Amino acid sequence: MSPMRIAIAGASGRMGRMLIEATIRDDGAKLVAALDRADAPAVGEDAGAFLGSRCGVPISSDVDAALAGADFLIDFTRPEATLAHLDACLRHGVKMIIGTTGFNDAQRERLSDASRSLAIVLAPNMAVGVNAVFRLLDMAARILNSGYDIEVIEAHHRMKVDAPSGTALRMGEVVAGALGRSLKDCAIYGREGHTGEREDSTIGFSTIRGGDIVGDHTVLFAGIGERVEITHKAASRMPYALGSLRAARWLVARESGLYDMQDVLGLR
């Protein structure tokens, strides 16, 4: 079987480099393109240079040229950049694995429209462990459905630009769905001053930004006399990269549709 031909967006960023490393080390994948902004200092350099060896793929800002020889684009950039890449992927028939977060409703609708003719995996977190936690949260919420206050606490590095994280929001959505609620109606994203007593049906979010924290997420179910905490902590970005390659393998057999990691892992 021929290796998957992978293009990676945001190639000189921290996540981009992790994706490049994982792809180069995967016998079933081949790095064929590495993309970055035209003003990125690394444009023109070998994509594998940071690993101490050349891979023969230069970092480029020419999206159409890069995608011409690719089967998949893995994109962990910003919403605006991802949507620009989406248009190029539609032109070239390149399937997408998207780990970008912070999309608004209109941007999500564009992705949904594109999925009618393009296969896309879109997930706020590609790590297999996090997606196992999503299932655990669904189960816990159904059991702890009365008498427990629910809080989602997340921590990330100081450079992260969106809050709460996409993973934290997805955790809130999973819990709210299991309880028959809409997160839009019950989420509390900030508390200050005289807030009054906590309302029973709310789901609270707390955000921490600092240092080089890769990603910590905890959902707390606080009852009377007991607390249940379900936590995932990422020590590196490699789980996100490995999950993305797993998503690409699963997407090989799909020609169109919008999927997430729950589909990839057979957890529906």
Instruction: Report the C-alpha gap between 139 and 175 in whole angstroms.
Output: 9
Structure tokens at 7: 């293009």
Instruction: Report the C-alpha gap between 130 and 151 in whole angstroms.
Output: 17
Backbone angles phi, psi at 2, to 5 degrees: -70, 145
How many beta carbons lie within 10 A of that of residue 50, not counting itself? 15
State the DSSP code for 51. Answer: G
Q: What type of residue is 102?
A: G
| Burial of residue 109, with CB atoms counted within 10 A of its CB: 0-12 exposed, 13-18 middle, 19 or more buried | exposed
Q: Which residues are catalytic?
A: 156, 160
For 76-214, strand residue ranges (E) read 95-98, 119-122, 149-156, 187-188, 203-209
What's the residue count for the chain?
Answer: 268
* Token pair 């998207």 in the structure block, residue: 98
| Burial of residue 261, with CB atoms counted within 10 A of its CB: 0-12 exposed, 13-18 middle, 19 or more buried | buried
How many beta carbons lie within 10 A of that of residue 223, not counting itself? 12
